[in-house]
Amino acid sequence: MSSSRRFIPALVVLVLLAVLPQLPVPPFWITLLNNIGIASLVAIGLVLLTGVGGLTSFGQAAFCGFGAYTTAVLTTAYGFSPWMTLPLSLAVGALIALPLGLITVRLSGHFLPLGTLAWGIALYYLFGQIDLLGRHDGIAGIPPLSIGDYRFMSGSSIYYVIWTFVILTALAAQNLLDSRVGRAIRALRGGGQAPEAFGVNVARAKLTVFVLAGVTAALAGWLYAHMQRAINPTPFSISMGIEYLLMAVIGGAGYVWGAIFGASLVLVLKELLQRLLPDLIGTTANFEMIVFGALLVVILQFARDGLWPVVLRFFPSKSSHRIRGDAPALGKREAPSPGTPLIRVEKARKTFGGLVAVNDVSFEVKAGQIVGLIGPNGAGKSTTFDLITGMNSLSGGQILFEGKPLTGRSPRDIARQGVARTFQHPKILPGMSVLENVALGAHQRGTGGVLQSILRLERTEEAALMAEAMRQLERVGLAEFKDRPAGDLALGQVRILEIARALALDPVVLLLDEPAAGLRYGEKQELAALLKKLRGEGMSILLVEHDMSFVMGLVDHLVVLDFGTRIADGKPQEVRENPAVIAAYLGGTA
């Protein structure tokens, strides 16, 4: 991932971090760095949750509280050793995050952050009311961390513990993002249910990242308890939750290292303001709020991606994904023999209220065929398409795939059967590389989980997924763009990228939704040539299209819809001369 221009500055920072406590630095700065480290942990969780996954949470401070109180109670009242409570603190964080996540991640957009705001406040008040947690006074006398006889009492000793955890967590987060699970989490930003269609379990990915953010916050809480050795509810309040979000936003919500940068910036600024402002204004109070508030507004107005990308601009890097030649091949589906019926639509019907959008439409796609479903705007093509892909449910009739009914199956399940699709309005992740976008299509062909990804135990499988993605890119002719952000591609290339992603599913049949819409003449010809090539390789394709000229020389069979009803079907040339079809397209005398 990193090239030498980033490697050297990173090394310098690392060495500096390592020697800093040995230099004659005032202890005050060490304390500040410790606080930055702890805040960074929470912010890294938020980067995963908010920046990458698109789920905003104001409640992360409460999770710190769970981590801190778990170890505080267990070490002071039950005599546990601090290291023993580490897994327990993390587990409590996860256990609380799980039900909260189950409730909250299903909520659409803005209800999620409001939900976190509400339970963030409720939990803070709760900490202050429970006798076991020492109510508002909290818990004192928490033992320090120790190894053998060495006790991490001083700020400069626990400093190493904290920053080791920070760096390990950042690396873990980075590893995770660069894996199959990570790609699924990154796909959440693509929005809506689209990732389901290429096999990502959206609800599960959201829950995963929510729990992970809870666990990193709990880790921060655990460290905090053993650094301070006394805790009370204040650091776990909603205003701290807001401050953590501020760090993530300022740093750059999509960047793991940006979290540390954001935490440093906020805490250093806070320190400076608390020192300088009273001299300027003459009173002592936490006026830094005003500055932070204004900063948040200004950053979102002028640098919505935060400041870390600005820093990175000084250290340009060219990342390139190496494809391992020895990567094992992924399992492949057996291809159906040409001519066997794959998709059978039997009297499919869809009504919206009183309106009949699809009126008893029947047709068939056989293996090795390209079938075109065409018709003027509003003819019911897209609705029919949605019925096949499971985005919409049938009101009547049935749809069979390889003889089995698809009725009631989810888009993800239909994708798993071997029905891959593209979108009329492409659903790509513009910031992700072309190669990774394609690899998302192969999501269901891998099994690597969160822990394996963090520990890099799934590298063989990952190499296989990447090699597969590369194969599909070569197949469609986009190999040269593999490391470019997908957002750099022209529309025609994006549509082909979507086809490559669909191919990465190892599908039996490809469903293309208006693949030629908006393409220029040359692009259309390239697309047609690609589809012909795929058919030659045995692929079966159903395409919904408006553009007659595009389908004419391409498809084996045409089905024409108008007002939800099939008005013609047959060979392209026959259909083209059918007066009903001409009337439907040109209007006038029917």
Contact positions with other proteins (CB under 8 A) in 225-244: 242
Kindly state whether residue 487 participates in binding other proteins, applying the rule CB under 8 A: yes
Kindly state whether residue 580 participates in binding other proteins, applying the rule CB under 8 A: no
Q: Which of residues 302-331 bind other proteins (CB under 8 A)?
A: 304
Decide if 277 contacts 287 (C-beta within 8 A). yes
- Which of 376, 431, 449, 477 lies at the binding interface for other proteins (CB under 8 A)? 376
Beta bridge partners of 147: 150
Closest contact distance (angstroms) between CB of 381 and other proteins is 11
Kindly state whether residue 278 participates in binding other proteins, applying the rule CB under 8 A: no
Kindly state whether residue 292 participates in binding other proteins, applying the rule CB under 8 A: yes
Site string for other proteins, 328-367 (x = CB under 8 A): ----------------------------------------
Please list, in sequence order, all residues whose beta carbon lies within 8 angstroms of the beta carbon of residue 584, skipping any fewer than 6 positions away: 375, 376, 379, 560, 562, 567, 590
Strand order across the 419-421 sheet: 419-421, 509-513, 540-545, 370-374, 557-562, 565-570
In 217-230, which positions are buried (b, 16+ CB within 10 angstroms) versus exposed (e)? bbbbbbbbbbbbbe
Distance (Å, whole) CA 11 – CA 320:
21
Using CB under 8 A as the binding criterion, the count of chain residues that bind other proteins stands at 82
- Which of 29, 80, 160, 287 lies at the binding interface for other proteins (CB under 8 A)? 287
Amino acid of residue 51 = G
Which residue, 289 or 450, has its beta carbon nearer to other proteins? 289
Residue 523 to residues 259, 515, 583: CA-CA distances in angstroms? Answer: 42, 11, 28
Stretch that binds other proteins, among 300-308, 323-331, 458-466, 468-476 (CB under 8 A): 300-308
Which residue, 161 or 213, has its beta carbon nearer to other proteins? 213
- Which of 20, 32, 117, 479 lies at the binding interface for other proteins (CB under 8 A)? 117
Stretch that binds other proteins, among 13-21, 78-86, 463-471, 547-555 (CB under 8 A): 547-555
Give the residue among 110, 114, 108, 105 at the shortest CA–CA distance from 192.
108
Residue with tokens 């939704």: 513
Kindly state whether residue 126 participates in binding other proteins, applying the rule CB under 8 A: yes
Catalogue the E-assigned strands of 242-386: 341-352, 355-366, 370-374
Give the residue among 336, 348, 341, 347 at the shortest CA–CA distance from 364.
341
Site string for other proteins, 157-196 (x = CB under 8 A): ----------------------------------xxx---
Distance (Å, whole) CA 563 – CA 399:
20
N residues, the chain = 590
Stretch that binds other proteins, among 8-16, 87-95, 174-182, 542-550 (CB under 8 A): 542-550
Closest contact distance (angstroms) between CB of 129 and other proteins is 5
Which residue, 172 or 211, has its beta carbon nearer to other proteins? 211
Closest contact distance (angstroms) between CB of 423 and other proteins is 14
Kindly state whether residue 13 participates in binding other proteins, applying the rule CB under 8 A: no
Kindly state whether residue 115 participates in binding other proteins, applying the rule CB under 8 A: yes
Please list, in sequence order, all residues whose beta carbon lies within 8 angstroms of the beta carbon of residue 287, skipping any fewer than 6 positions away: 273, 277, 281
Q: Which of residues 489-528 bind other proteins (CB under 8 A)?
A: 489-491, 514, 516-521
Kindly state whether residue 276 participates in binding other proteins, applying the rule CB under 8 A: no
Distance (Å, whole) CA 357 – CA 459:
48
